[in-house]
Amino acid sequence: MEKFFFLEIKGPPIREIVNEDHISTNNLNDYSELVLKAHSEIEETVFVVKEEISKEHGSGNQLKANKTALLAINQGLIEWACVKRTTFYNPSSTQESWEEIPGVPSGPLLELQKFLELYPEWVERNTYSAAEWLYKITQREEIGDSIFEPVDIAVSKTRKNDLDAAWKDVARAFGLENVKWPNTLTGVKAAPIKIAQAVQHNLGDSWGLRGETAFRWEGEKPKHPGTIKKDYILVGCGHKHLKKFQGDFPLMTLPLEKEKGLPLTKAEAVS
């Protein structure tokens, strides 16, 4: 028995020329696409229930038009699905985000988005304690100035590029050249955490870093979903391979709901 869930998506603005002097424009436009990994061909998985074009007159003779489509997705043929929203702030500035579809596995793109939201917060909570821990353990007489001095310099830096260079010197001093981080603000702030982890792992036993003296981070470390294969499909308004949905159901009674301003619709599965 086939079961379908329903999703409303919004296409990019349709720009129409009302006259040669006025072209439709909108400084803040957004559109949505269905993103899914399917077990079958797209023609067997996603169908168009209906499509509509709405028009709105703006200032002057400007005309704004948007296309929406109601899709039916065969839930038994997908591994995961979510919604990709693209927002245009101006021609050179866009923002992409991914939103879950209630009751449907959301997949790795949403996991990556959650990681990118949580990881900077986790780094901020632990960067100073990691630097302080490295400073404290290298103050011991048996460690020597060759390691203490780079750490002492690093903890005094504040600018991103200066921090990046200083923590690389610390990694080299510990013989941990394999510890890497990106030259971004979050990446550089994570440097002392990564170095402290490596020191604890490689030198913890020989340096007696156990119990209260061992390095421990605060809070649960966000998990990166790993490399995401591009084996998923994006379906937008007007997708050329979609067929008309032939299901027999009362369209006007579909329980379409929009929550939190998302272009989503929750519907009971129909067979």
Is residue 214 helix, strand or coil?
coil
The closest of 29, 102, 79 to 255, measured between CA atoms, is 102
Query: Is the per-residue pLDDT at 263 higher than 60?
Result: no
Position 128, amino acid:
Y
Every domain of the chain and the residues it spans: 4-106+240-253, 113-213
CB 33 within 8 A of CB 236: yes
Q: Report the C-alpha gap between 138 and 15 in whole angstroms.
A: 64
Residue 57 has pLDDT above 70, yes or no: no
pLDDT in tens, 11-53: 876 665 444 444 444 445 788 999 999 999 999 999 998 888 8
Q: Answer yes or no: pTM beyond 0.85.
A: no
Q: What is the pLDDT of residue 102?
A: 87
- Asked if 69 and 48 count as a contact pair (C-beta separation under 8 A), the reply is yes
Of 183, 197, 225, the residue nearest 126 (C-alpha): 197
Percent of the residues in the chain that have a pLDDT greater than 70, as a whole number:
80
pLDDT in the model for residue 65: 74
- pLDDT at residue number 37: 96
Count of beta carbons in the 10 Å neighbourhood of residue 136: 11
Task: Please say whether the beta carbons of 264 and 83 come within 8 A.
Answer: yes
pLDDT at 3 over 60: yes
pLDDT of residue 258 exceeding 60, the answer is no
Q: What is the mean pLDDT of the chain?
A: 83
Per-residue model confidence as pLDDT tens digits over 121-178: 999 999 999 999 999 999 886 777 889 999 999 999 999 999 999 999 999 999 999 9
Q: Is the pLDDT of residue 236 over 70?
A: yes
* Structure tokens given for 119: 């990881």
- Distance between CA atoms of 88 and 10, rounded to whole angstroms? 14
What is the C-alpha to C-alpha distance for residues 6 and 179, in angstroms, rounded to an integer? 47
What is residue 63's predicted lDDT score, i.e. its pLDDT? Answer: 66
What is the three-state SS of 30-74?
A: EEEEEEEEECCCHHHHEEEEEEEEEEEECCCCCEEEEEEEEEEEE
Q: Which amino acid is at 35?
A: V
Name which residue leads in pLDDT, 30 or 70. Answer: 70
3-state helix, strand, coil in the chain (%, to 5): 30, 30, 40
- What's CA 157's distance to the chain center, in Å? 30
Categorize the per-residue pLDDT at 54 as very low, low, confident or very high, splitting at 50, 70 and 90: confident
Check residues 269 and 173 and name the one with the higher pLDDT. 173
